């Protein structure tokens, strides 16, 4: 079981199966941007808009009344005093957003009248209801509004604000512990000694966690030492998820997998994917632990494929939240194994066709970060193929906007 190679889909199913969304917490409207809404209806306690108002600057009158010229008996402005009533032979000057005066049923824009002192000649007769925004024409009182299951954006903030909602229930950001492992990792900010490298995965995974809506808890990196890895993994009480990187393979000093097996449980550790074949998943004291491969590109790509959907499940959001588009590959992209590959590409609009094209973003070794930075997408070459062929179309996952 632990030795079997899983498909990406099967792995994803197992990784997310046991996850329950975090509990709700209430935040103010000012802090709600990008938070995951709790999936329940918001009831409109009043009409939006709350009263009938004018869509134009003009004059409110009775549409059926052709009694010109008519007398302008007052004005109605947004937030102003209650306007006088309108009857046959009269009109009230109205501004955009101002209440429609009692008795009026239409607004004539200022451009369609002639004003002569306090008299008004209507040049274009309005239809009944013209330029009147009825109370509740946007959201009638009592409507059960369901927010879309995606991070809250400005449009939803506008709707919540218009409804008068100032405290919004959202899912608590999942707390994610991040552990880098390896004797070769230099201390943060320290100059490199012989054989040392900077820890790229810790800061990178912390950033990826935050971008996915989580709260990152960056642990002190562990040396390739079973006891140290064990103590770090145990020291994650209160976290919803633990991500380790490095030490998950079959190398002599790869301890994450063995420690998981010994102090908790190991559910599997190989996935038919490139980059990222060695990937461990298990539990320590009930907390899910994902062991990602150590190469920074592998760590980030497997985070994207497996951990990001886990974070979204913890936020009760569906899928990976990414846009997938088919794109025509501009140059052959060989891959090194029959496993399904996720290759680093630049996707752009294809001027010749009605879609997108994808150009290789650079070298595809899992130790090469530059192409991951230069690219904006992952191109999926299905299992069994030797390469992505020039001119063929493949599914891509957009990680950044298309230029």
Query: Smallest gap, in angstroms, from Cβ of residue 251 to ligand AMP?
Result: 5
Binds 99: which of Mg ion, ligand AMP, none (CB < 5-8 Å by kind): none
**Cα(389)–Cα(234) distance, rounded to whole angstroms?**
47
**Cα(258)–Cα(296) distance, rounded to whole angstroms?**
22
Query: Smallest gap, in angstroms, from Cβ of residue 338 to Mg ion?
Result: 26
Contact status: 207 vs ligand AMP (CB under 6 A): no
**Residues that bind Mg ion in the complex, under the rule CB under 5 A:** 182, 246-247, 294
Query: Smallest gap, in angstroms, from Cβ of residue 247 to Mg ion?
Result: 5
Binds 293: which of ligand AMP, Mg ion, none (CB < 5-8 Å by kind): ligand AMP
Query: Smallest gap, in angstroms, from Cβ of residue 175 to ligand AMP?
Result: 20
Binds 184: which of ligand AMP, Mg ion, none (CB < 5-8 Å by kind): ligand AMP
If the CB atoms of residues 54 and 245 are measured against ligand AMP, the closer one turns out to be 245
Query: Smallest gap, in angstroms, from Cβ of residue 45 to ligand AMP?
Result: 51
Stretch that binds ligand AMP, among 22-30, 35-43, 164-172, 291-299 (CB under 6 A): 291-299
Contact status: 22 vs ligand AMP (CB under 6 A): no
Contact status: 185 vs ligand AMP (CB under 6 A): yes
Give a three-class secondary structure readout of the chain. CCCCEECHHHHHHHHHHCCCCCCEEEEEHHHCCCCCECCCCEECCCCECCCCEECCCEEEECCCCCCCCEEEEEEECCCCCCCCCCCCCEEEEECCCCECCCCCCEEEEHHHEEEECCEEEECCCCCCCCCEECCCCCECCCCEECCCCCCCCHHHHHHHHHCCCCEEEEECCCEEEEEEECCCECCCCCCCCCCCECCCHHHHHHHHHHHCCCEEEECCCECCCHHHHHHHHHCCCCCCEEEEECCCCCCCCCCHHHHHHHHCEEEEEEECEECCCEEEEEEECCEEEEEECCCHHHHHHHHHHHHHHHHHHHCCCCCCCCEEEEEEECCCEECCCCCEEEEEEEEEEECCCCEEEEEECCCCCCCCCHHHHHCCEEEEECCCCCEECCCCEEEEEECCCCC
Q: Which of 213, 282, 296, 360 binds ligand AMP (CB under 6 A)?
A: 296
If the CB atoms of residues 254 and 316 are measured against Mg ion, the closer one turns out to be 254
If the CB atoms of residues 202 and 214 are measured against ligand AMP, the closer one turns out to be 202
Contact status: 88 vs ligand AMP (CB under 6 A): no
If the CB atoms of residues 136 and 293 are measured against ligand AMP, the closer one turns out to be 293
Site string for ligand AMP, 235-254 (x = CB under 6 A): ----------xxxxx-x---
Query: Smallest gap, in angstroms, from Cβ of residue 245 to ligand AMP?
Result: 5
Q: How far does the chain reach from its first CA to its final CA, in angstroms?
A: 44
Question: Binding to ligand AMP (CB under 6 A): which residues in 164-183?
Answer: 180, 182
Query: Smallest gap, in angstroms, from Cβ of residue 42 to ligand AMP?
Result: 43
> Which residues of the chain form contacts with ligand AMP (CB under 6 A)?
180, 182, 184-185, 197, 199-202, 245-249, 251, 293-296
């Amino acid at each position: 079981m632990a030795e079997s190679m899983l498909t990406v889909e099967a792995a994803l199913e197992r990784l997310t199966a046991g996850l329950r969304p975090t509990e709700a917490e209430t935040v103010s409207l000012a802090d709600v941007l990008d938070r995951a809404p709790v999936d329940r209806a918001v009831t409109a306690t009043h009409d939006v808009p709350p009263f009938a108002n004018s869509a134009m600057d003009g004059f409110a009158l009775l549409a059926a009344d052709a009694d010109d010229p008519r007398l302008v008996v007052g004005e109605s402005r947004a937030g102003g005093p209650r306007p006088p009533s309108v009857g046959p032979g009269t009109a009230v000057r109205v501004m955009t957003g101002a209440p429609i005066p009692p008795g009026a049923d239409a607004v004539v824009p200022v451009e369609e009248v002639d004003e002569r002192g306090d008299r008004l000649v209507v040049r274009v007769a309005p239809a009944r209801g013209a330029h009147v925004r009825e109370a509740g024409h946007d959201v009638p009182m009592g409507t059960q509004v369901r927010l879309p299951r995606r991070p809250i954006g400005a449009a939803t903030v506008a709707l919540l604000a218009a409804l008068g909602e100032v405290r919004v229930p959202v899912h608590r950001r999942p707390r994610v512990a991040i552990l880098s492992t390896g004797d070769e990792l230099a201390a943060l900010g320290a100059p490199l000694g012989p054989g040392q490298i900077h820890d790229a995965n810790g800061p990178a995974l912390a950033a990826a966690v935050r971008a996915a809506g989580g709260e990152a808890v960056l642990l002190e990196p562990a040396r390739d030492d079973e006891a140290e890895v064990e103590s770090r993994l145990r020291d994650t009480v209160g976290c919803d998820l633990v991500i380790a990187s490095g030490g998950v393979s079959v190398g002599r000093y790869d301890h994450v997998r063995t420690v998981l097996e010994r102090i908790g449980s190991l559910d599997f550790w190989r996935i038919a994917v490139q980059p990222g074949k060695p990937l461990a998943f298990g539990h320590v004291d009930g907390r899910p632990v994902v062991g990602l491969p150590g190469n920074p590109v592998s760590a980030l790509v497997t985070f994207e494929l497996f951990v990001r959907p886990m974070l979204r499940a913890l936020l009760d959001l569906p899928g990976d939240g990414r846009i997938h588009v088919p794109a025509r590959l501009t140059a052959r992209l060989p891959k090194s194994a029959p496993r399904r590959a996720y290759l680093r590409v630049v996707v752009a609009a294809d001027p010749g066709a009605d879609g997108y094209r994808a150009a290789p973003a650079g070298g595809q070794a899992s130790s090469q970060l530059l192409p991951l930075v230069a690219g904006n997408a992952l191109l999926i070459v299905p299992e069994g193929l030797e390469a992505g062929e020039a001119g063929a179309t493949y599914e891509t996952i957009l990680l950044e906007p298309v230029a």
